[in-house]
Structure 1
Amino acid sequence: MNNTNAHNHAAFLLRLSLGVILLAHGLMKIMIFTIPGTVGYFESIGYPAIIAHLTIWGEVLGGAAMIIGFHTRIVALLSLPMLLGAAWTHMANGWVFSNQGGGWEFPVLLVMLAVIVTIQGGGSFSVKGLPQVNKRLPKALRA
């Protein structure tokens, strides 16, 4: 395996990992906590309901797009405010995620994964982006 293939496969594994985690967390908010329950929780910690909805659908749709490799850089970039918000929310709980209420180590790890995917792209095995959308994007953000 040459360096290009290794880089592409590593980028794929990072993209897939981040996508699966985002999708799993979004589905958990829908299927286990329920949408009204998630909205209620977000409101109880001071966030407006719209942030809960944006988070749920950002995780579900963004995670699915990340898994298949659709506009990976854009999806990773757009996930950053959501992931930074999660890190901020968990900040008072300490570093370790196993702390009561969850610490901020895991959200910060996800932030770093999203930054890396934004920089290096989706790697191999991705559907890339729609050509008509791709040609209008700055080169650095193309799939």
Structure 2
Amino acid sequence: MSYGTQVQLIRYTACGATGIALLIAIAVFAGLLSGGATASDVAKINSSLAIYFLSGFLALSCVLNLLAPRTRPRLIFLLGLFPLMIGWRIAALHDLSWIEALGGIAFVSYLALFAIIVVHGLKTPQEDGRPETTFPGVQLSFIRLYIGLDLVPHFTEKLFAGPSARLGDVKSFEALGVPDALGFVLLAGTIEFAAMIGVGMGLLTRLASILTVIYLIVATILGHHFQLGFIWATAGGGWEYPLLWSALILSFVLGGGRWLSLDQIIFERVKLPRWIDFLMGDTGPVRRDHPLPNSGQPDSTHPSLSDQRETGVNEDPITSAKA
């Protein structure tokens, strides 16, 4: 089975599972199904905006999955996975077990897509003979993706899962003596959501990494963790855990998003001002004076990006090579 066929098969599997989950969410809202939840859980989600966010993120995952060009599997992966995870988390917080199960199928599909993208990226040469990525590039991408995914449960319960889900956060902020606890919870959730996009998906990665670390420092100060010593297992939690996260995220200030990031995908296709390039960080070995990566063997007839911009040609070299 060819690489393109594998991508399409996994893509449609993920979208199909997500689409069925979306239909169940709509049926729950309409009162036609319980989605595996109790009557009280159904009443709770339908009485808040959570049901709209659940349906919206599942729909967004499906739409972005299908709109992404089939020759850009990295884009399919990034745009389909992250909205799915938000919807999946909302379903879990409200015990919608049917949607949870379908979300699990879609998630496993995206993991499979990640695996074949990695294998292809390591083995497929570009026109200059180098592979699309390297093992260190995959390692950094894996860490960055995990950071983004780890943020999903935090901001989802603060922003998208309804008042009952964020109540615990509000009480925690009140216990810390933070004024307007609800406002701070919503602000924190918004920052974490932006950090998922910036760091996890790799959009303006350098800027996002700096701002995320600043957020972590402020959160550590507000949580009084610096006063409790270093070890995180200390009662109340020391500052070991925030420091670990900050160190990992700061590494992307130097390296940027690299291979599996929106920055890299944009960088390969669009000529941007240098100041935007700087905010992205180092996008890796693929430079604009090199041709685009392709899914087959190197073909000297492919025009480079600079040639495309000078001649006004914007067609996909992969598609044109198959034509």
Regarding TM over 0.5, the answer is yes
Q: Determine if contact 2:158/2:185 at 8 Å carries over to the other structure.
A: no
| Percent sequence identity over aligned pairs | 25
1:17 aligns with: 146
State the alpha-carbon separation in 2 of the partners of residues 139 and 71 from structure 1: 8
Which of 206, 209, 233 does residue 73 from structure 1 map onto? 206
Q: CA deviation at 1:46?
A: 3.7
Whole-angstrom distance in 2 between the partners of 1:133 and 1:25: 35
User: What is the TM-score with the length of structure 2 in the denominator?
Assistant: 0.38
**Matched positions, count:** 142
Q: For 1:85, give the aligned amino acid.
A: V
Counterparts of 1:133 and 1:35, CA distance in 2 = 42
Q: What is aligned with 2:244? A: 109
> If the length of structure 1 is used for normalisation, what is the TM-score?
0.75
Taking the aligned partners of 2:271 and 2:164, their CA distance within structure 1 comes to: 35
In structure 1, list runs of 5 or more residues that go unmatched.
none
Residue 137 (1) aligns with residue 270 (2): no
**2-structure distance, mates of 1:21, 1:87:** 17
Q: Residues 138 and 8 from structure 1, CA distance in 2 versus in 1: closer, same or farther, beyond 3 angstroms?
A: same
Larger Rg: 2
The Cα of 1:13 is off from its aligned counterpart by: 2.0
Deviation at 1:38, TM superposition (A): 2.7
Where do residues 91-106 of structure 1 align in structure 2 (5 Å cutoff)? Answer: 91-106=226-241
The yes-or-no answer on 1:41 pairing with 2:153 is no
Alignment correspondent of 2:91: none
Contact 1:14 1:117 in 2 (8 A): no
Tell me which amino acid in the other structure corresponds to 1:22: L
* Structure 2 partner of 1:7: 136
Structure 1 position 84, deviation (Å): 0.8
The one of 155, 165, 171 equivalent to 1:26 is 155
Q: Which residue of 2 aligns with 1:58?
A: 191
Matched to 1:111, the amino acid is S
Which stretch of the first structure deviates more once superposed, 56-65 or 45-54? 45-54
Other structure's SS at 1:101 match: coil
More relative contact order, 1 or 2 (CA 8 Å, 6+ apart): 1
Query: Which secondary structure does the structure 1 equivalent of 2:134 belong to?
Result: helix
**Letter of the structure 1 residue corresponding to residue 243 of structure 2:** V
